[in-house]
Structure 1
Amino acid sequence: MTSRATTPEEYIKEVPEERKEAINNLRNVILNNLPEGFKEEMSYGMIGYVIPHEVYPSGYHCNPKLPLPFMSFASQKNSINFYHMGIYANSELYNWFISEYGKFSTKKLDIGKSCMRFKKEQDIPYDLIGELVSKINVNQWISTYENAFKK
């Protein structure tokens, strides 16, 4: 369910009323914990957080015209999804998140390579996501990205 919104604010206006609070809470947790240098923008029809070309001119290896992606989130048909490339590229960070998750929720974590799906808004572990967001700064993400993905 991709959006054609051009700003995060427009995106949030499109979200079903029953999810607006959760989407706003998730956005605020990210913005309050986001290290300096990342930029919020619409990315792939979702609210995304990227390293802009001014900081990393090479851009994304799949499409160098795009800035380097890091995180995003979206209200999908059956869930709110949070995407974090750091847990995909860094097994230590992934393992940390998995081990910490149980301290924040009794629900089974629905997670793929970089995507976490939350079917119920009350199941989103905002504090844990805030901590995850703060764990990688711009230089660390560039280094991790280049080591993991760039050939």
Structure 2
Amino acid sequence: MQSEAKSPEAYMKEIPADRVEVMNQLRTIIMENLPKGFKEGMSYGMLTYVVPFELYPAGYHCAKDQELPFLSLASQKNSINLYHMGIYADENLLNWFVAEYPKHCKTKLDMGKSCIRFKKTADIPMALIAELCQKMTPEQWIAIYEKNYRKK
């Protein structure tokens, strides 16, 4: 279920009525808690938070015309998904998140490499997501990205 929306505002207008409130809440949490320097936009049919070209002119190695992705938020058919590249790239951050999750949520963690899936909106641990967003600056993400993914 990929959106064709060209802007975050257009994307939010497509969200099913029963998810509008929680998606607005998540979007606000992300924007208020991501360190200065990240920028909101659209990529791959999702709300995306990137390191802009102004901070990282090299862009994304998979698509040079794209700014460096960091975090995405999507309302999918069966879940709301949060994609956090820092969790995928930094084992310490992943371990912290996995250990903290049960302290904030009674449901089992449903997670892929960078994707955290929430099937019930009531089960989304908003405070934990806010804390996760604060854990990595654009500069830290660039350093991890270059160490792990950039071809020398």
* TM category, shorter: over 0.9
Which residue of the partner structure matches residue 44 of structure 1? Answer: 44
4+ residue runs of structure 1 moved beyond 2 angstroms?
A: none
Deviations 1:22-66 (Å, cap 9, x if unpaired)?
100110110110111100001111000001111100000001110
| SS across alignment from 1:110 | coil
Letter matched to residue 74 of structure 1:
A
* 1:28 lines up with 2:28 in the alignment: yes
CA–CA separation in structure 2 for the residues paired with 1:148 and 1:86: 11
Which residue of the partner structure matches residue 125 of structure 1? Answer: 125
CA–CA separation in structure 2 for the residues paired with 1:99 and 1:46: 27
| SS across alignment from 1:108 | coil
* 1:102 lines up with 2:98 in the alignment: no
Residue 9 of structure 1 deviates from its aligned partner by 1.2
Structure 1 stretches lacking a partner, 5+ long: none
TM-score normalised by L of structure 2: 0.98
Deviations 1:58-99 (Å, cap 9, x if unpaired)?
000001110000000100010000000000000000000000
How do 1:2-151 residues align onto structure 2 when only pairs under 5 Å count?
A: 2-151=2-151
> Percent of counterpart pairs with the same letter?
58
Letter matched to residue 40 of structure 1:
E
Letter matched to residue 6 of structure 1:
K
TM-score normalised by L of structure 1: 0.98
Deviations 1:84-133 (Å, cap 9, x if unpaired)?
00000000000000000011001000000000000000111111011000
CA–CA separation in structure 1 for the residues paired with 2:126 and 2:29: 7
Structure 2 stretches lacking a partner, 5+ long: none
CA–CA separation in structure 1 for the residues paired with 2:16 and 2:50: 25
CA–CA separation in structure 2 for the residues paired with 1:13 and 1:122: 21
Structural RMSD (CA) = 0.6
Letter matched to residue 6 of structure 2:
T
| SS across alignment from 2:10 | helix
Letter matched to residue 137 of structure 2:
N
